[in-house]
Amino acid sequence: MARKSDPAKRDNIIGAAIRAFAQKGYTATRIIDVARMAGIGKGTVYEYFSSKEDLFFCVFQTVMQESEAQMKAVAASPAGSVARRLEVMGDALMRTWLDKLELYSLVMEFWSAASAASSRQRFKSTFQNAYRGFRGTVAALIEEGMHSGEFSPSCRPVEIASGLIGMWDALLLQAWTDSTFDALAASRVCLEVMLQGMHRLEVKPKEPI
Amino acid sequence: MARKSDPAKRDNIIGAAIRAFAQKGYTATRIIDVARMAGIGKGTVYEYFSSKEDLFFCVFQTVMQESEAQMKAVAASPAGSVARRLEVMGDALMRTWLDKLELYSLVMEFWSAASAASSRQRFKSTFQNAYRGFRGTVAALIEEGMHSGEFSPSCRPVEIASGLIGMWDALLLQAWTDSTFDALAASRVCLEVMLQGMHRLEVKPKEPI
Amino acid sequence: MARKSDPAKRDNIIGAAIRAFAQKGYTATRIIDVARMAGIGKGTVYEYFSSKEDLFFCVFQTVMQESEAQMKAVAASPAGSVARRLEVMGDALMRTWLDKLELYSLVMEFWSAASAASSRQRFKSTFQNAYRGFRGTVAALIEEGMHSGEFSPSCRPVEIASGLIGMWDALLLQAWTDSTFDALAASRVCLEVMLQGMHRLEVKPKEPI
Amino acid sequence: MARKSDPAKRDNIIGAAIRAFAQKGYTATRIIDVARMAGIGKGTVYEYFSSKEDLFFCVFQTVMQESEAQMKAVAASPAGSVARRLEVMGDALMRTWLDKLELYSLVMEFWSAASAASSRQRFKSTFQNAYRGFRGTVAALIEEGMHSGEFSPSCRPVEIASGLIGMWDALLLQAWTDSTFDALAASRVCLEVMLQGMHRLEVKPKEPI
DNA sequence: CATGAATGAGGCTTCATTCAT
DNA sequence: GATGAATGAAGCCTCATTCAT
């Protein structure tokens, strides 16, 4: 009922849950699995989380927040050109996730939850916010590049940021699906293509397709 | 065990299952839900599929196959330049999926299943094959463009194809998450950037980052 | 509903059912198993038997009748002394069943059915009748031996017949349980002991124990 | 999975299961029946037994062990002659089981399980061991009688013990089948015959039959 | 506070039986 | 007559959640 707040113990449970959910998925993970991994009793989990779903959502929030914080940190790097900063950001993003690829299945679980759970909306909007936040960060960089003349004034920052982020995400997905896939290399190649494209993009009206 | 094969009836169940799983997700969907949507008795489902998981996998295969067939068809379009053909392909892909965005949660479910189910491997490798197939199609197009001089000889077809497909995929994901997001526009913008990038890509050795 | 009567087809089903029930037991045997072993369709079984239980009961009756007929035949053998005739009978009984020991589990199934089924009484009384019939046959032999002076006048034919039959039955059970057990030898030894006992039994009042 | 071990609670369930299985048979008994008779919830049964079959096997073991212990106790009785001790043993055996004849159907169920279940072998070998144990006890008594001169040196202790035990068993079966049958009287009569036979058995080579 | 024994709702699956062909 | 596709009742078992210790 009343959620206790000892943060160390709460984090311990969250940590165990992250591992458990990543390993077996939401449905296949039993509360007792989490409790065992956390080295506590089953009932104790309910002292800190009101239900399995609540626990999962808190795991979700934690992972999203960490991810966001990390992105913010990378984006804030003061290095040289915008292109260079995007390259650094892309590399950091890929490396971080590739290092913990076994957690990537959590992302799948989150999306699945967002698509299915009774708490669909809670998940969806948290997703949306995170995405928009990251997209905003990247779009701001692109705009900076447009102003500095690095990129063509025809660039559409928000759309390109969406595509870029999506590309990174999807490359990680492929790496997770296929362990022989070199996501880092692919992300570099693709980013280079996009940077080149943004640089050279011609100023012309779109024609209907 | 002994699966019956009357294709019409099987397809009827698959169809009902697609809707049910898309609406409520794998776990929340009960066999009886599928049966009711198919207008048949619960036991009948088991005449055609050996278990809930088997049904889900067959749904998965069906959706993947349809998706692949569609892509093949689009790729085979005889239109003009490679760039144009990629534009047509991207538009077709986006439009098709945006039309049935409510099915997109199925994709989430599939990924989740691939990450969690005991049949993890079955899902993963089916995924891999589909992805590789599509990637091969797109990579071949890019190579064609390289040979025809439309794209720079520095292009790396496979990596770029991976990124492009991933980008499309991720834009759909964003559209599904956020109904205000215009995925079609974003895909056009991003493709244009990439085409421009592929066209202008300079011939230079990569420097380490 | 209406039971058909083509005896050849009915017997075919009974035969298949005997094998099926003996192999897997009543509960684990499915109607479809019987149908397959009989080389017919599932529905056809219901043309000849009104239910699974009915089929089982008919199998039971068939086996009991065959067994009884066999015993009658053996008992009717015109050979010499009563002792000799009992020896022949015991040997025949043991040999017959040892030859088809794999069917012995049917007996277990029958008893189990008699103990549990809704049709408990039907089974029990059929059992009782068969037992009483066989017991009567053996008791009559013993009485014949008493009259001819072969056995002591103190013999109690019915009780001894019960014990003798039970002994035979139980020795078969042991053989079925334990394939290294030589039931035939044991039955000969025990019968010899009992014959000797019946011959020499002293005429004395029973003392309370 | 993880079986709890509180013996009182476990025994409570076993006791309820003994009654339930004896009354309705294995198949017809539902776990909830056992739970209700034990005054607990359905799920609790699974805290102590991993499956219905496991519960049944434990019931089986319990009954077999109790039976064996009882036999051991009776056999250890210090009374006079071997013949007398066998008489006491027979009477004790019959009286004990006649007192709880309603449990006898359990024995039927056990045999049926031994013939049918997937765990056939587990049941069969437990049976075998119990039988052999009891047979050994009785055979030892007979040998003792042979050495003391009470029984003929021609006696074959193991075979006779088998037959004797089988006879007792089968008489109980008849009593269970037919409530008018006086199994105690029959067992006394038959034992007397066998004792007389063992006493007087002539020393002669067996002739083939 | 922490625990884990107890609980029962809920879902998958089996299979005897029916009945249209 | 024979068949087997369709059905749904029924039961085993899991596991999130509660609550007494």
- The phi, psi pair for B12, rounded to 5°, reads -60, -45
**Per-residue pLDDT tens over the stretch C128-180:** 888 888 899 999 999 999 999 999 999 999 999 999 999 999 999 889 888 88
First-last CA distance in chain A: 57
Structure pTM? Answer: 0.88
Q: Which residue is nearest to nucleotide F19 (CA to C1')?
A: A43
CA of D14 to C1' of F20 (A): 25
What percent of chain D has a predicted confidence (pLDDT) above 90? Answer: 51
How many angstroms separate the Cα of C31 from the Cα of each of C34, C46, C52, C141, D29?
5, 9, 7, 43, 21
**Per-residue pLDDT tens over the stretch C6-18:** 889 999 999 999 9
Lowest mean pLDDT, pick from B144-158, C92-106, D38-52: C92-106
- The phi, psi pair for A41, rounded to 5°, reads -85, 155
Residue in chain B nearest A129 by alpha carbon: B178
Output the CA torsion sign for A86, A92, A94, A95.
positive
Lowest mean pLDDT, pick from A151-160, C73-82, C145-154, D179-188: C73-82
Give the distance, in angstroms, between the CA of residue D188 and the centroid of all CA atoms in the same chain: 18
Amino acid, single-letter form, for residue A139: A
What pLDDT does C196 receive?
Answer: 94
Give contacts of B178 with chain A, Cβ < 8 Å: 128, 131-132
| Cα C138 to Cα A34: distance, rounded to the nearest angstrom | 70
| Cα A73 to Cα C19: distance, rounded to the nearest angstrom | 75
pLDDT at residue C44 above 70? Answer: yes
Amino acid, single-letter form, for residue D17: A
Contact B186 A128 (CB under 8 A): no
| Cα D50 to Cα D47: distance, rounded to the nearest angstrom | 7
Residue in chain C nearest D193 by alpha carbon: C197
Asked if residue A131 keeps its beta carbon closer than 7 A to nucleic acid strand E, the reply is no
Residue with tokens 């037992």: C131
Chain E nucleotides reached by a protein CB under 7 Å: 1-20
pLDDT at residue D153 above 60? Answer: yes
**Per-residue pLDDT tens over the stretch B71-81:** 778 777 766 88
Overall average pLDDT of the C71-78 stretch: 76
Overall average pLDDT of the D157-172 stretch: 93
Q: D34 versus B128: which is more confidently predicted?
A: D34
| Cα A138 to Cα B67: distance, rounded to the nearest angstrom | 31
Give the pLDDT band (50/70/90) at residue C189: very high
Output the CA torsion sign for C13, C16, C21, C26.
negative
Residues of chain B with pLDDT under 50: none
3-class DSSP assignment, residue D29 = coil
pLDDT at residue D2 above 70? Answer: no
CB A16 within 8 A of CB A34: yes
Nearest to A193 among B116, B165, B198 (CB): B198
Chain A: nearest CA to B40, how far in angstroms?
24
Chain C: nearest CA to D60, how far in angstroms?
14
CB A144 within 8 A of CB A82: yes
Chain C: nearest CA to D167, how far in angstroms?
4
| Cα D148 to Cα D142: distance, rounded to the nearest angstrom | 10
CB B87 within 8 A of CB B188: yes
What pLDDT does C80 receive?
Answer: 82
CA of D69 to C1' of E20 (A): 61
SS3 content of chain C, % helix, strand, coil (to 5): 75, 0, 25
**Per-residue pLDDT tens over the stretch A33-76:** 999 999 999 999 999 999 999 999 999 999 888 888 887 787 77
Q: What is the mean pLDDT of chain C?
A: 87
Give contacts of B171 with chain A, Cβ < 8 Å: 162-163, 166
Give the distance, in angstroms, between the CA of residue D134 and the centroid of all CA atoms in the same chain: 9
Q: Which residue is nearest to nucleotide E15 (CA to C1')?
A: C30
Contact D196 C192 (CB under 8 A): no
| Cα A40 to Cα A10: distance, rounded to the nearest angstrom | 11
Map out the domains of chain B with their CATH numbers. Answer: 1-50 (1.10.10.60), 60-200 (1.10.357.10)
pLDDT at residue D142 above 60? Answer: yes
pLDDT at residue A1 above 50? Answer: no
Give the pLDDT band (50/70/90) at residue D100: confident
- The phi, psi pair for D100, rounded to 5°, reads -125, 50
Give contacts of B112 with chain A, Cβ < 8 Å: 25-26, 105, 108-109, 111-112
Overall average pLDDT of the A142-166 stretch: 93
Give the pLDDT band (50/70/90) at residue D204: low
Number of A:B CB contacts under 8 A? 195
Give the single-character DSSP code of A2. P
Angle at alpha carbon of residue D57, lines to D55 and D61, rounded to 5° = 115
How many angstroms separate the Cα of D53 from the Cα of each of A176, C116, D30, D113, D124?
42, 17, 11, 10, 15
| Cα D205 to Cα A170: distance, rounded to the nearest angstrom | 91
| Cα A192 to Cα B163: distance, rounded to the nearest angstrom | 11
Asked if residue B51 keeps its beta carbon closer than 7 A to nucleic acid strand E, the reply is yes
Contact C166 D185 (CB under 8 A): no
Chain B: nearest CA to A115, how far in angstroms?
5
Q: What is the mean pLDDT of chain A?
A: 87
Asked if residue B12 keeps its beta carbon closer than 7 A to nucleic acid strand F, the reply is no
Asked if residue B100 keeps its beta carbon closer than 7 A to nucleic acid strand F, the reply is no
What pLDDT does C1 receive?
Answer: 46
Q: A156 versus B127: which is more confidently predicted?
A: A156
**Per-residue pLDDT tens over the stretch C100-131:** 888 888 888 888 877 666 677 888 888 888 88
pLDDT at residue C202 above 90? Answer: no
How many alpha carbons fall within 13 Å on the CB side of residue D2? 1
CB B148 within 8 A of CB B82: yes
Q: Which residues lie below 8 Å from residue C99, measured CB to CB, with a gap of 6+?
A: none
Radius of gyration of chain C (CA): 20
Give the pLDDT band (50/70/90) at residue D188: very high
Q: What is the dihedral of CA A20, A21, A22, A26, to 10 degrees?
A: 150
Give contacts of C27 with chain D, Cβ < 8 Å: 26-27, 116
Give me the count of residues in chain A: 209
Nearest to D87 among C127, C197, C209 (CB): C209
Query: Which of B194, B144, B168, B150 is closest to A189 using CA atoms?
Result: B194
How many angstroms separate the Cα of B162 from the Cα of each of A48, B32, B109, B139?
42, 39, 22, 8
3-class DSSP assignment, residue C176 = helix
Nearest to A115 among B108, B156, B181 (CB): B108
Strands (E) located in A82-170: none
Q: At what angle do helices A7-24 and A31-38 cross, to 10 degrees?
A: 120
What pLDDT does A69 receive?
Answer: 84
Q: Which nucleotide is at minimal CA–C1' distance from A45?
A: E2
Spell out the alpha helix ranges (H) of D29-119. 31-38, 42-48, 52-75, 82-99, 104-116
Mutate one of B112, B121, B128, B135 to test the A interface: name it (highest A CB count within 10 A): B112
| Cα A206 to Cα A63: distance, rounded to the nearest angstrom | 40
CB B92 within 8 A of CB A89: no
Angle at alpha carbon of residue B131, lines to B126 and B133, rounded to 5° = 95
B4 burial level (CB within 10 Å; 0-12, 13-18, 19+): exposed
Q: D208 versus D126: which is more confidently predicted?
A: D126
Asked if residue C46 keeps its beta carbon closer than 7 A to nucleic acid strand F, the reply is yes
Chain C: nearest CA to D8, how far in angstroms?
28
Angle at alpha carbon of residue B44, lines to B42 and B48, rounded to 5° = 125
Q: What is the mean pLDDT of chain D?
A: 88
